[in-house]
Structure 1
Amino acid sequence: MHGGPESIGEVTSASHHKASTDIKTSPSIHSGDDEKHELQEQVSAPKLQRRLKARHLQMIAIGGTIGTGLFIGSGGAIAKSGPAGALIAYIFVGTVVYSVMMSLGELATHIPISGAFTAYASRFVDPSIGFAMGWIYFFSWAITFALELNVTGLIIQYWDPSLSIGIFIAVFWVFIVACNMMPVSFYGEFEFWFSMVKVITVIGFLIFGICIDAGAGKEGYLGFRYWKDPGAFASYLLPESNPVSKFVGFWAVLVQAGFSYQGTELVGIAAGETENPRKNVPSAIRKTFWRILFFFVFTVFFIGLLVPYTNERLMSSASDATASPFVIAADLAGVKVLPGLINAVLLFVVLSAANSNVYSGSRILVGLAHDGSAPKFFARASARGVPYYAVIFTSVFGFLAFLNLSSGASTVFEWLLNISAVAGFITWASIGASHICFMRALKAQGVSRDTLPYRAPWQPWYAWYGLFFNVLICITQGFTAFMPWDVTQFFVAYVSLILFVVLFVGHKVITRSKWVRSAEADILTGSLACEDEEWESIAPTTLWGKFWEWVV
Structure 2
Amino acid sequence: MTDEVTSIQNEPRTDKKDVKEPPDPTGRTGNQDIDSEEKHSNGETHELPELQRRLKSRHLQMIAMGGAIGTGLFIGSGTAIATAGPVGALIAFSFVGSIVYSVMTALGEVATYLPIPGAFAAYATRLVDPSLGFAMGWIYWFSWASTFALELTATGLIIQYWDEQIPMAIFIAIFWVLIIILNMFPVSCYGEVEFWLSSIKIITVVGFMIFAICMNAGVGKEGYIGFRYWVHPGPFQPYLITNPEQDALAKFVGFWAILIKAGFSYQGTELVGIAAGETENPSKNVPSAIRKTFFRIVFFFIFTIFFAGIVVPATDPHLTSSDGNSADANSSPFVIAAKRAGVNALPSIINAVLLTVVLSAANSNVYSGSRILVGLANEGFAPRFFLKTTKHGVPYGSVGFTALFGLLGFLNLSNSGSTVFNWLMQIAGLAGFITWSSLNICHLAFMRVLKARGISRDTLPYKATWQPFLSWYGLFFNVLIIITQGFTAFIPSFSVTDFFINYLSLILFAVLYFGHKIAFRPKFVKPIEANIDTGRYEPEYGA
Task: Structure 2: give runs of 5+ residues left out of the alignment.
Answer: 1-17
Structure 1 residue 333 displacement after superposition: 1.0
Deviations 1:48-76 (A, max 9, x none): 00000011001111221100011000011
Partner of 1:123: 126
Q: Which moved more, 1:131-140 or 1:19-28?
A: 19-28
Letter in 1 for 2:112: T
Q: For residues 334 and 283 of structure 2, what CA distance do their matches in structure 1 show?
A: 38
Secondary structure of 1:216's match? coil
CA change 1:28–1:165 in 2 (3 A) is: closer
CA change 1:223–1:35 in 2 (3 A) is: farther
CA change 1:22–1:439 in 2 (3 A) is: closer
Partner of 1:207: 210
For the pair 1:54 / 2:61, whether they are aligned, the reply is no
Partner of 2:507: 498
Q: Paired residue for 1:408, among 396, 416, 423?
A: 416
Structure 1 residue 184 displacement after superposition: 0.1
Q: Paired residue for 2:399, among 374, 391, 401?
A: 391
Q: Paired residue for 1:104, among 100, 104, 107?
A: 107
Letter in 2 for 1:518: P
For the pair 1:509 / 2:513, whether they are aligned, the reply is no
Letter in 1 for 2:378: H
Partner of 1:281: 286
Q: Paired residue for 2:453, among 445, 448, 454?
A: 445
For the pair 1:171 / 2:191, whether they are aligned, the reply is no
Deviations 1:489-526 (A, max 9, x none): 01111100000000000100111011111121112221
Residues 30 and 529, structure 2, Cα contact 8 Å, conserved in 1: no
Letter in 1 for 2:461: P
Q: Paired residue for 2:222, among 219, 223, 228?
A: 219
Q: Paired residue for 1:241, among 239, 245, 250?
A: 245
Letter in 2 for 1:471: V
CA change 1:379–1:30 in 2 (3 A) is: closer
Partner of 1:231: 234
Partner of 1:310: 315
Structure 1 residue 259 displacement after superposition: 1.2
CA change 1:22–1:530 in 2 (3 A) is: farther
Letter in 1 for 2:278: E
Secondary structure of 2:208's match? helix
Partner of 1:80: 83
Partner of 1:298: 303
Task: Structure 1: give runs of 5+ residues left out of the alignment.
Answer: 1-10, 532-552
Partner of 1:485: 494
Q: For residues 397 and 26 of structure 1, what CA distance do their matches in structure 2 show?
A: 30
Q: Which moved more, 1:516-525 or 1:469-478?
A: 516-525
Residues 12 and 20, structure 1, Cα contact 8 Å, conserved in 2: no
Deviations 1:306-363 (A, max 9, x none): 0111111111132100110111111111111110001000000000000000000000
CA change 1:24–1:308 in 2 (3 A) is: closer
Residues 102 and 473, structure 2, Cα contact 8 Å, conserved in 1: yes
Partner of 1:5: none
CA change 1:212–1:437 in 2 (3 A) is: same
Q: For residues 352 and 539 of structure 2, what CA distance do their matches in structure 1 show?
A: 46
Structure number with higher helix proportion: 1
Q: Which moved more, 1:236-245 or 1:343-352?
A: 236-245
Partner of 2:195: 192
TM-score in terms of structure 2 length: 0.92
Residues 34 and 379, structure 2, Cα contact 8 Å, conserved in 1: no
Q: Percent identity?
A: 63
Deviations 1:88-125 (A, max 9, x none): 11111111100000000001000001110001111111
Residues 180 and 391, structure 1, Cα contact 8 Å, conserved in 2: yes
CA RMSD for the aligned pairs?
A: 2.3
Partner of 2:363: 355
Partner of 1:472: 480
Deviations 1:21-52 (A, max 9, x none): 469987999999955523xx1x2x43100000
Letter in 2 for 1:229: H
Q: For residues 291 and 466 of structure 2, what CA distance do their matches in structure 1 show?
A: 14
Q: For residues 458 and 107 of structure 1, what CA distance do their matches in structure 2 show?
A: 15
Q: Paired residue for 2:140, among 122, 137, 140?
A: 137
Q: For residues 273 and 21 of structure 2, what CA distance do their matches in structure 1 show?
A: 28
Secondary structure of 1:474's match? helix
Q: For residues 210 and 48 of structure 1, what CA distance do their matches in structure 2 show?
A: 45
Secondary structure of 2:343's match? coil
Partner of 1:71: 74
Structure 1 residue 285 displacement after superposition: 0.6
Deviations 1:5-26 (A, max 9, x none): xxxxxx9949425796469987
Residues 29 and 35, structure 1, Cα contact 8 Å, conserved in 2: no
Secondary structure of 1:381's match? strand
Letter in 2 for 1:517: K
Secondary structure of 2:389's match? coil
Residues 149 and 406, structure 2, Cα contact 8 Å, conserved in 1: yes
Partner of 2:11: none
Q: Paired residue for 1:334, among 332, 342, 345?
A: 342
Letter in 2 for 1:219: E
CA change 1:230–1:31 in 2 (3 A) is: closer
Residues 79 and 309, structure 1, Cα contact 8 Å, conserved in 2: yes
Residues 181 and 388, structure 1, Cα contact 8 Å, conserved in 2: yes
Structure 1 residue 446 displacement after superposition: 1.1
Partner of 1:369: 377
Q: Paired residue for 1:519, among 522, 528, 532?
A: 528
Q: For residues 28 and 233 of structure 1, what CA distance do their matches in structure 2 show?
A: 55
For the pair 1:267 / 2:272, whether they are aligned, the reply is yes
For the pair 1:37 / 2:44, whether they are aligned, the reply is yes
Secondary structure of 1:424's match? helix
Superposition pairs of residues 9-24 of structure 1, within 5 angstroms: 13=20, 15-17=22-24, 21=28
Runs of 4+ in 1 over 4 A off after TM superposition: 11-15, 17-36
Letter in 1 for 2:432: G
Residues 104 and 293, structure 2, Cα contact 8 Å, conserved in 1: yes
Residues 148 and 362, structure 2, Cα contact 8 Å, conserved in 1: yes
Structure 1 residue 134 displacement after superposition: 0.3
Q: Paired residue for 2:466, among 448, 458, 461?
A: 458
CA change 1:480–1:34 in 2 (3 A) is: closer
Partner of 2:5: none
Partner of 2:12: none
Count residues with an aligned counterpart. 518
Q: For residues 185 and 295 of structure 2, what CA distance do their matches in structure 1 show?
A: 32
Letter in 2 for 1:494: Y
Q: For residues 22 and 454 of structure 2, what CA distance do their matches in structure 1 show?
A: 16
